[in-house]
Amino acid sequence: MLVNLNDVLIPAKKGKYGVGLFNSVNLEMARGIIEAAEEENSPVIFGTAEVLLPYGPLEELSYFLIPMAKKAAVPVVVHLDHGLRKETCLRALELGFSSIMYDCSTEGYEDNVRKVKEMADIAHSCGATIEGELGHVGNADDESNDPTQFYTDPEMARDFVDRTGVDALAIAVGTSHGAYKLPPKLDFERIETIANTISVPLVLHGGSGLADSDFRMAIQKGISKVNIFTDINMAAASAQKEALEAGKTGLTDLIPYTVEAVKKETMKKIKLFRQERFSTALGVEE
Ligand code: 13P
Ligand code: ZN
Give the pLDDT of residue 267.
98
Cβ atoms 89, 83 nearer than 8 A = yes
pLDDT tens readout for residues 240-254: 999 999 999 999 999
Residue 165 has pLDDT above 60, yes or no: yes
Q: DSSP class of residue 148? A: G
pLDDT-derived band of residue 202, with 50, 70 and 90 as boundaries?
very high
pLDDT tens readout for residues 24-65: 999 999 999 999 999 999 999 999 999 999 999 999 999 999
Q: 186, 205, 233: which to mutate for ligand 1, most atoms within 8 A of CB?
A: 205
Residue 79, strand partner residues: 47, 99
Whole-number average pLDDT of the chain: 96
Residue 277 has pLDDT above 70, yes or no: no
CA dist 239 and 262 (Å) reads 9
Helix 212-221 and helix 188-197, axial crossing angle in degrees, nearest 10:
30
Percentage of the chain with pLDDT > 90?
Answer: 93
CA dist 258 and 61 (Å) reads 17
- Cβ(178) to ligand 1 under 6 A? yes
Give the pLDDT of residue 2.
98
Q: Say which ligand is closest to the CA of 136.
A: 2
Residue 286 has pLDDT above 50, yes or no: no
Cβ atoms 132, 164 nearer than 8 A = yes
Q: Distance from the CA of 178 to the center of ligand 1, in angstroms?
A: 6
Q: Distance from the CA of 230 to the center of ligand 1, in angstroms?
A: 6
Q: Which amino acid is at 278?
A: F
**Which residue in 224, 199, 218, 235 sits closest to 20, CA to CA?**
224
The set of catalytic residues is 81
pLDDT tens readout for residues 91-116: 999 999 999 999 999 999 999 999 99
Provide DSSP, 57-78: -HHHHHHHHHHHHHH-SS-EEE
pTM above 0.75, yes or no: yes
CA dist 166 and 139 (Å) reads 24
Encode burial over 205-241: b for 16+ CB neighbours within 10 A, e otherwise.
bbbbbbeeebbbbbbbbbbbbbbbbbbbbebbeebbe
Q: How many helices (H) and strands (E) does the chain have?
A: 11, 9
CA dist 179 and 65 (Å) reads 26
pLDDT-derived band of residue 285, with 50, 70 and 90 as boundaries?
very low
User: Which residue puts its alpha carbon closest to atom 9 of ligand 1?
Assistant: 227
